[in-house]
Structure 1
Amino acid sequence: MRVAFISDIHGNAVALDAVLADIQNKQIDQIYVLGDLCYRGPEPRRSLDTIRTLDTKVIKGNADEWVVRGVREGEVPDKALVLMNSEREWTVSQLDPADLDYLKDLPTELHLEIEGVSISAYHATPESLFEIVPGSSEDAVLQAKLMSAADSTIYVYAHIHKPFIRYIGGKVLINIGSVGLPFDGLAKASYAIVEVDHKRISTSIERVAYDIEKVVQLYQEVNYPNSEMMGRIVRNGSV
C-alpha cells in the first residue's frame, strides 16, 4: 500500500493542484493531511474545498487554530502580531461559519496501521500545534519531542516547512515539508510517500514544480495583506 502525507498548504491552491496531480500519477492508495490548510495564501476557500473533496483524514495545524481564534501574543514575534492578524482577518473574510467550524473540530493526531506497520502523525508535536522541532536536533531531542507518545514504527510531522527523513533507534522519522510555502530554499511543493509491502517499508520526499508566478499574481489580485513579502517567500522557497 502506498500512502501520501501532505501538509502546510497555506491557501496555495495552485501548488495543491500540482501535488494532487503528482499523487494521482504515482497511483497512491490514500492521502492524509496534516494541517495548515488556508492561512497565508491567496486561495483559502479553494484550498479548503479541495482538501474536503479528498475523502480522507485531516488533522489540525497551528495555522488552522489561528484562523479559528486569531494569532495571540507570544505565538509570533511582537513586530509581526498585527500584520499576521490582518492576514488572518482577510482569510476569515473568504470563508463562511461552516468552514470555521470544520477547522475548529479537526483532530490533532493520527494513528494508522498499514499492513502491520504502525504510523503516528501530527502537525508539530504530539503535545503542541506550535512547538518547532528542527530536523537538525539531536537524536535524543527528536525522540523525546516527536517519538515518545506512541509505540510506532514511523513518525510523521510537518510544521517546520523543511522536509527530511531520519532513522533513529530502529524507527523512521519524517518531516513532510510544505505544499504551499517551503522554507528550505527549494521553491517546489513538498510531500512524502510511505509504501508498505509485506512489512517492507519505503519512504521518500517528493518535490513538485508548480506555477509560482501565477500564485504571486493571485496575491496581488485578491489584495492580500503583505502580498509583496508572501510573493518573495513563494519565489525563493524561504523566509
Structure 2
Amino acid sequence: MDTNIAIITDIHGNDAALEAVLDDINRQPISHIYCLGDLLGIGYQSNEVLQRLTTRQGVTFVKGNHDQAILDIWNGKEPESEGKEKVHHQWIAKNVDPSFQSFLEGMPMEQYAEYNGKTFLFRHYHLDKNLRFLPIDPEPSSNKLDQVYENVEADVVLFGHHHILHHFKSNQRLYVNPGSLGCSYQAKAPYACITIKADGGIDVCLKEVPYNQDAFIKGFEERKVPDRESILRIFYGQ
C-alpha cells in the first residue's frame, strides 16, 4: 500500500509556523513526520516548539547545527558560533527549559528508513566523513549532490540547513529540501509531503501553509531577542 510521510526542517524557534504546519499535516493521511534539525535558534519560541514536538507521536529527529550550539553551551564547551550569533545562542540556552537537554543530546546526526523498497536518508545537511556539516553550497545541482553522496546507499536524500527549496532528481537518486519552516520572507511555512507508492514510485508535494507572521515578528521586540534587528532583516526580510 502507499505510504505518506511529511518532512519539516529548520523550525528555528517559530512555534506559530509549526502549529500551522502540524494542523495541516493532521488533515492528511501522514503516517510519520521527519524533523531535520535546527528546532532552536533565531526564533524565541524554543520551549513551545520542543514541547509540541516531543509530546507528539510518530516524529523522528536529526540534529542541526543550532541545536548542537545550544548543547555545547550547556555542556561548557565553546560553540562554533561567534560574535553576535554566539551571544544569541547564549540567550537561547539560558531560556530553554533544561529538561529538554536529554532529548536534544539523543538526536542523531542522520537517520535511515525504508518504505516500499526505497531507502531514505535523513540529515540536517551534507556531512563529511567525521560527521561535520559541509559549507552551504550556494548553487546546488543534481551533479554536485551526486558527488557528495556517491558512496551513500540511498534512493532519496532529505535535508535542510540551506533555507531555500531544493528538489533535484538524478539518475542516482532524489534530493529534497523543503526549505526552512520557520524562516521566510513570506507569512507561509513550507514543508514537504512524500508519497511512496506500493510499486516504489515516489511523488513529492511541496506545500506552504499561511500563519500569523506579524504577531511572531512583534515578539522579537517584546522578548528583547539579542541581535533581533539583524535576524529580522536576514531571515524575515523586515
TM bracket (short chain): 0.7 to 0.9
8 Å contact from structure 1 (residues 154, 172) kept in 2: yes
- Runs of 4+ in structure 1 displaced over 4 angstroms? 70-73
8 Å contact from structure 2 (residues 127, 133) kept in 1: no
TM-score by length of 1: 0.87
8 Å contact from structure 2 (residues 8, 34) kept in 1: yes
Partner of 2:43: 41
8 Å contact from structure 1 (residues 192, 206) kept in 2: yes
What per-residue deviation string (whole Å, max 9, x for no partner) do you get for residues 35-78 of structure 1? Answer: 101211111111111111222211100110011114968x55xx
8 Å contact from structure 1 (residues 212, 234) kept in 2: no
1:149 to 1:211, Cα distance in 2 relative to 1, 3 A: farther
8 Å contact from structure 1 (residues 132, 160) kept in 2: no
Q: Per-residue deviation at 1:152?
A: 1.5
In the alignment, the residues of structure 1 paired with residue 170 and residue 28 of structure 2 have an alpha-carbon distance, to the nearest angstrom, of 28
What per-residue deviation string (whole Å, max 9, x for no partner) do you get for residues 192-228 of structure 1? Answer: 1110111121012211221111111111111111222
Partner of 2:173: 171
Q: Per-residue deviation at 1:234?
A: 4.9
**Residue 66 (structure 2) aligned to one of 36, 57, 63:** 63
| Residue identity matched to 1:17 | E
8 Å contact from structure 1 (residues 42, 219) kept in 2: yes
| 1:188 is the counterpart of 2:188 | yes
Partner of 1:117: 118
Partner of 1:86: 87
In the alignment, the residues of structure 2 paired with residue 35 and residue 49 of structure 1 have an alpha-carbon distance, to the nearest angstrom, of 15
Q: Give the count of matched residue pairs.
A: 229
8 Å contact from structure 1 (residues 123, 129) kept in 2: no
8 Å contact from structure 2 (residues 46, 96) kept in 1: yes
SS in 2 for 1:158: coil
| 1:140 is the counterpart of 2:153 | no
In the alignment, the residues of structure 2 paired with residue 84 and residue 5 of structure 1 have an alpha-carbon distance, to the nearest angstrom, of 27
Partner of 1:10: 12
In the alignment, the residues of structure 1 paired with residue 181 and residue 113 of structure 2 have an alpha-carbon distance, to the nearest angstrom, of 22
Q: Per-residue deviation at 1:135?
A: 6.8
8 Å contact from structure 2 (residues 187, 212) kept in 1: no
Which consecutive residues of structure 2, in runs of 5 or more, have no partner in the other structure? none
Partner of 2:157: 155
Which consecutive residues of structure 1, in runs of 5 or more, have no partner in the other structure? none
**Residue 21 (structure 1) aligned to one of 20, 23, 28:** 23
What per-residue deviation string (whole Å, max 9, x for no partner) do you get for residues 145-193 of structure 1? Answer: 2x234321111111001112111124111112111113xx555212111
SS in 1 for 2:61: coil
| Residue identity matched to 1:23 | I
Q: Per-residue deviation at 1:126?
A: 3.6
Identity %: 26
